Amino acid sequence: MKKLVRFAAALTAVLTLTACTAEVGTSSVTSTPMSTTTSTSTSNPLPSVTTEPGKEEDPKVLDKDIIKSTITSTDDGKGNYTNPVIFADVPDIDIIRVDDAFYMVSTTMHLSPGCPVMKSYDLVNWEIVNYVFDTLEDSDKLALRNGENNYGKGQWATTLRYNNGVYYAGFTSFSTGKTYI
Residue 114's domain is classified under what CATH number?
2.115.10.20
* SS3 of residue 174 by DSSP: coil
C-alpha–C-alpha distance, residues 10 and 4, integer Å: 19
How confident is the model over 124-131, as a mean pLDDT? 92
Name which residue leads in pLDDT, 121 or 21: 121
C-alpha–C-alpha distance, residues 48 and 58, integer Å: 10
Name which residue leads in pLDDT, 178 or 4: 178
**Is residue 48 assigned to a domain?**
no
**Is residue 50 assigned to a domain?**
no
Q: Indicate the number of domains in the chain.
A: 1
| Residue-range definition of the domain harbouring residue 20 | 2-36+58-180
C-alpha–C-alpha distance, residues 173 and 157, integer Å: 9
**Is residue 128 assigned to a domain?**
yes
**Is residue 124 assigned to a domain?**
yes
**Is residue 43 assigned to a domain?**
no
**Is residue 118 assigned to a domain?**
yes
At 117 the pLDDT is 96
pLDDT surpasses 60 at 27: no
Average pLDDT in the chain: 69
